[in-house]
Amino acid sequence: MTREKITMPKLGESVTEGTLQKWLVAVGDTVKKYEPLAEVLTDKVSAEIPSSFAGVISELLVKEDETVQVGEVICTMEVEDGKGNDARLEQAKEEKKKEPAKSVGENKQRYSPAVLKLSQEAGLDLNIINGTGAGGRITRKDVLRAIKEGTPAVFQTEPQAETIANEKRADMQAPAAASNKQEPKQIPTSNGDIEIPITPVRKAIAANMQKSKHEIPHAWTMIEVDVTSLVNYRNKIKDSFKTAEGFNLTFFAFFVKAVARGLKEFPELNSTWAGDKIVRKKDINISIAVAAEDSLFVPVIRHADEKSIKGIAREITELAKKARTGKLTVEDMQGGTFTVNNTGSFGSIQSMGIINHPQSAILQVESIVKRPIIKNGMIAISDMVNLCLSLDHRVLDGLVCGRFLQRVKDILENTNEDSTTIY
């Protein structure tokens, strides 16, 4: 028998940690290969962790509702030699042994918000902490261990490392003690106030939003669009479409299609900030925000520029249904390059969205409302909608964003029975 480790898998792009919501096994349980071990929640998706082996659970190393880094060991299993092991995993282990040792500081330049905040509160220098995560990444447990021991575990490959640690020791004692005593912020309450515990889903959403606002310098712009022709066209065919196809033809499908066409012509908005470079994405994969009770999910319509309005409408319906029934998969959430949010469905007429990290922009589609406007020198009642764009000012400037919105406006205002096909 050999003891094997099960680690926290990476469950999506830019995902560095997850919250173990529920164990599906206990110590002593016999499990089969691929049998689910635990339910995990990240800021992207809720998923199950499958077993890589067939064997007996020997130890659970993570408590329920505990947040752990990708690559951290969550449990161990006793596995009979030669049975149930994944051959590809064994091969990967052998290849890992052959890799050259990594230099000091490699894989330590990116820290999760939790690690960064904890280290700053304790006055720790992350550059001298020995990371135990995947590829030497510094985890939350590494920081907590350094605080508890009064000095971080130091790499000895540089002569000054021990000196730095000694100089830090005295300064760290007081902050470390204070950090260990920190309690959740207390807010005064009155009779009748209701205290609602924070769920793992809400924690994940909060962490992702905070990360986006902390890292991305947001800018905002808005344009108004006359969609009278689009409204008339959609209302004319919506009933026959529902009868023929079995799902609704929503206004949102027209907006997603128009945005996809706009991104094709202005690929600058289909980019992401990568520190020392900007990565312009080839595929146009539109993330759509879907609310489900107290949760917010952002599934992806892939290659939206290649799909018809009917195809987009079908995917919107299917993804929304999966989100509300808890059936979204990791694959459904990955690969988004630009987000379109249908805030108008809640009656909003103007809003400022928080960018879906690591994308560079998000477009809020507001309510379509009838308003008097001036047309050809005369007052007319038109169906108007505001399109509100939040942008990453490191990647984008007002000029290109203004041109992009003007192009989307032009597409929408010229959507009608004569010029636009649904199929």
pLDDT digits (tens, 9 = 90+) for 308-334: 999 999 999 999 898 888 788 878 888
Residue 24 or residue 181, greater confidence? 24
Which residues, in sequence order, are CB contacts of 276 under 8 Å at separation 6+? Answer: none
Q: What pTM was estimated for this model as a whole?
A: 0.64
Residue 2 or residue 401, greater confidence? 401
Highest mean pLDDT out of 12-21, 104-113, 356-365: 356-365
Residue 283 or residue 346, greater confidence? 283
Measure the CA–CA gap between 339 and 190, rounded to whole angstroms. 40
Instruction: Give per-residue pLDDT as tens, 78-127.
Output: 998 754 444 444 544 455 455 454 444 444 445 665 666 667 666 666 76
> Which entry of 193, 397, 410, 418 is annotated as an active-site residue?
397
Question: Rounded to the nearest 10 degrees, how much is the dihedral formed by the CA atoms of 88, 89, 93, 94?
Answer: -20
- Active-site annotation holds for 397: yes
Instruction: Give per-residue pLDDT as tens, 387-401.
Output: 999 999 999 999 999
Which residues, in sequence order, are CB contacts of 360 under 8 Å at separation 6+? Answer: 269, 271, 272, 273, 338, 391, 392, 395, 396
> Which entry of 29, 218, 303, 393 is annotated as an active-site residue?
393
Contact 400, 269 (CB under 8 A): yes
Contact 366, 387 (CB under 8 A): yes
- Active-site annotation holds for 218: no
Domains identified in the chain and CATH numbers: 2-98 (2.40.50.100), 102-181+196-215 (no CATH), 218-413 (3.30.559.10)
Split at pLDDT 50, 70, 90, the class of 263 is: very high
Q: At what angle do helices 398-413 and 251-265 cross, to 10 degrees?
A: 130
Mean pLDDT, residues 349-366 taken together = 94
In eight-state DSSP terms, residue 283 is S
Helix (H) or strand (E) run with residue 119 in it: helix 113-122
Measure the CA–CA gap between 281 and 13, rounded to whole angstroms. 14
Residue 56 or residue 164, greater confidence? 56
One-letter amino acid at 284 equals I
Q: Which two tokens stand for residue 226?
A: 């006359």
- Per-residue HEC secondary structure of 61-118 comes to CCCCCEEEECCCEEEEEEECCCCCCCHHHHHHHHHHHHCCCCCCCCCCCCCCHHHHHH
Measure the CA–CA gap between 298 and 332, rounded to whole angstroms. 9
